[in-house]
Structure 1
């Protein structure tokens, strides 16, 4: 007889967590955040409600964890595609052409914001973060801030290369790039396109460049 194998509880937990993450993201995309419930997530994931409450205090916390996990996986895939290798960190490309590099990353941001898989959870967490400051702070710290620091690093490299003004504040400069996209995406009154992203870069760089 073959020896009895003890079930791997950690693998079972990982499978359950992934199922719950997938269920939360799917439901928010299908029925909206307001109609998504812990009961619905549990039923979709094939787990009991008590399993979810053992790991998360609310549906907002479930969605936050699910979204961070999805974003981490997407960042890892982007890093590998960019040649960073396994475990490498994604960075904004530095080809020596700041305008082209910024257009590339802002176009990718437009695609992400328009992607149905990320659009609904991002909107839900942004709205819930206003009501729940602790959740909002977590969203900024764990998701937004690491992405913003990529812009800071690229703009500082451009400063060192003499591509932009030496007195440029990278933090304010990146907000001039990101804020217009977020504004248009939130208002939903005008299309968010690659052409718009290119125009934002062109207009912003006129104030960045180290030339008359």
Structure 2
């Protein structure tokens, strides 16, 4: 019996986790972040409030987990390539594909509310900011830099280019435009950032 209950218990815990994270994303998309409570998340997910607090210490931690879960493989299996950028051999085409997808993601109202809520908390919570860097920002940056290195090896980027600076030139203007809602994040704008970066850091 214990061996039979173990897997069932794990599956129930995972179903509960997924329900909580989905409920969090839904509520943040529907309401302002300030109005969302742990009690509301628990009610939407069909779990007790203590079930949430046993896993996460605060609402902001749940919101971060809900965002992080968006990058999980759909089947729950990590095949080692989840964070790899496309590599067709054409760095311009690959970067435009990625930057267009980024612009589209940040233009999605549900994602917009979730990431704005998280950024608000990160600005005031050093521990959450460190967790964000460790679990999401750094792995994403390493995946991006791996693709840029392959472009350097292929002679498509300056071999001496500072890859952290390349990423800043690509992403900082997009983030700034998104943060201030100063203009739409269009595919043409995403393409222009790639073209500007390649002019600056080309071979």
Q: Same fold by TM-score, threshold 0.5 exceeded? A: yes
Structure 2, unpaired ranges of 5+? none
Q: Could you tell me whether the CA contact under 8 Å between 2:170 and 2:197 is conserved in 1?
A: yes
| Bigger relative contact order, structure 1 or 2 (CA pairs below 8 A, ≥6 apart) | 2
Q: 65, 81, 89: which is aligned to 2:81? A: 89
Q: By how many angstroms is 1:6 displaced?
A: 5.0
Structure 1 CA distance, aligned partners of 2:117 and 2:199? Answer: 35
For 2:18, what is the secondary structure of its paired residue?
helix
Deviations 1:118-165 (A, max 9, x none): 221111111100100110111122112211112211111111111221
Q: Could you tell me whether the CA contact under 8 Å between 1:125 and 1:136 is conserved in 2?
A: no
Structure 1 CA distance, aligned partners of 2:55 and 2:151? Answer: 44
Q: By how many angstroms is 1:56 displaced?
A: 1.3
Partner of 2:13: 13
Structure 1 segments, 4+ long, off by >6 Å, are none
For 2:132, what is the secondary structure of its paired residue?
helix
Q: By how many angstroms is 1:45 displaced?
A: 1.0
Partner of 1:166: 159
Partner of 1:153: 146
The 5 A counterparts of 1:52-201 are 52-73=52-73, 87-90=79-82, 91-201=84-194
Q: Could you tell me whether the CA contact under 8 Å between 2:28 and 2:110 is conserved in 1?
A: no
Structure 2 CA distance, aligned partners of 1:19 and 1:96? Answer: 40
Structure 2 CA distance, aligned partners of 1:156 and 1:174? Answer: 12
Q: CA RMSD in A?
A: 2.0
Larger Rg belongs to: 1
Structure 1, unpaired ranges of 5+? 78-84
Q: By how many angstroms is 1:9 displaced?
A: 2.1
Aligned residues: 198
